[in-house]
Amino acid sequence: IMVEKWTVVAMATVIVGCCSNVVFLEYLIRASSSSGNMIVFFQFLFVFFEGLIFHNRFGKTERIIPLKKYVIMVMMHFTVSITNIMALDCDIPMPLHMIFKSGSLVANLLLGCIVMKRSYPVSKFVAVVFVSLGIFISTIATSVFHPDADTSEERSIPTLLLGISLLTYALMIFHSYNIHLISGYYHMIPLPFFIVIAPSIVSNIHVMNSSPITMGVPLLWIYLALNIVTQYICIRAIFYLTSVCTSLTVTLLITLRKFVSLLISVLYFGNRFTALHSVGGAFVLIGTLLYA
């Protein structure tokens, strides 16, 4: 009974935590479309200190994962985080970003066939076709309509293609290495690489500092703190669910979470969502359920 109680709590935490995380991310991106690098930097900094204090206990806990594998996973996580967030600065609206990231099933099946030499039932390929069509339709809709305009407006196609390429790369890397947020002080390893994008981080810190003051703190700093904390809580809850629930249950819950986040992005933030986007989203949703 106690396990079932905590399972329900974890499920509710995934929905509320992950959806809240997307809300705070969109607030930050709307304030500055180039703030993504800064957001990732502070996320890594947070995980580093959290791991150092609560998991590594300042060097007192013995390492379980071999250092070489840990370094690879952390660096790949760094690459995925940066490329995913960079896509938002390439004319990629939040709804398309959410729909495109649902294409993880496509990456999963392709890598399974090509790299692992696995065979899958026809139903899995049908599901992936649905997801691929959904992403394609949503991309076409986004290339025609500008999300912040009341009328049709041509997008910068090269910029859009760059953003889609970044999302595709991040998707493939994520499933090649089965990367998730890993808590630990080894997150200090990629921190020096942020020097390359330090000017962007510094300029966005100035933007944060110049935001309206709320409770004695610039509002955007509150959004950033809430974004980091909700992301941590959300992923912790997903980790717990994977240990007590079937993969089908977790997949359906994450799909529901993405659907709710999409509704929030469209209805609350007013992102343009055309009939084509609806069709694309429906294809992705159906494909995900078929795959599960």
Give the pLDDT of residue 253.
80
The single-letter DSSP state of residue 195 is: G
**Is there a domain that residue 280 lies in?**
yes
Dmax of the chain from CA atoms?
60
> Within the chain, which residues score under 50 in pLDDT?
146-155, 177-181
In the three-class reduction of DSSP (H, G, I as helix; E, B as strand; rest coil), residue 5 is classed as helix
Quote the tokens at residue 54: 């609560």
Q: Look at the block and give the residue holding tokens 């995925």.
A: 80
Q: Cα(269)–Cα(24) distance, rounded to whole angstroms?
A: 11
pLDDT at position 151 is 40
Identify residue 291 by its one-letter amino acid code.
Answer: Y
**Is 47 part of a structural domain of the chain?**
yes
The answer to the question of residue 230 being in a domain is no
**239 falls within a domain:** no
**Are the CB atoms for 292 and 252 separated by under 8 Å?**
yes
CA angle, 198 then 200 then 144, to 5°: 145
pLDDT of residue 65: 65
Domain assignment of residue 123, given as a range: 36-203+246-291
Residue 257, in any domain of the structure: yes
CB-side neighbour CA atoms (13 Å) of 211? 21
CB 79 within 8 A of CB 176: no
160 domain-assigned: yes
Number of domains forming the structure of the chain: 1
DSSP 190: S
Are 148 and 83 in contact, with CB atoms under 8 Å apart? no
Residue 25 burial (10 A CB sphere; 0-12, 13-18, 19+): buried
CB atoms within 10 A of CB 156: 13
Q: Left if phi > 0, otherwise alpha if psi is -120 to 50, otherwise beta: which for 182?
A: beta
| Separation of alpha carbons 70 and 54, rounded Å | 18
- Enter the tokens of residue 196: 């390359």
DSSP letters of 24-80? HHHHHHHH-TTTHHHHHHHHHHHHHHHIIIIISTTTTSPP-S-HHHHHHHHHHHHHH
Whether 172 maps to a domain, the answer reads yes
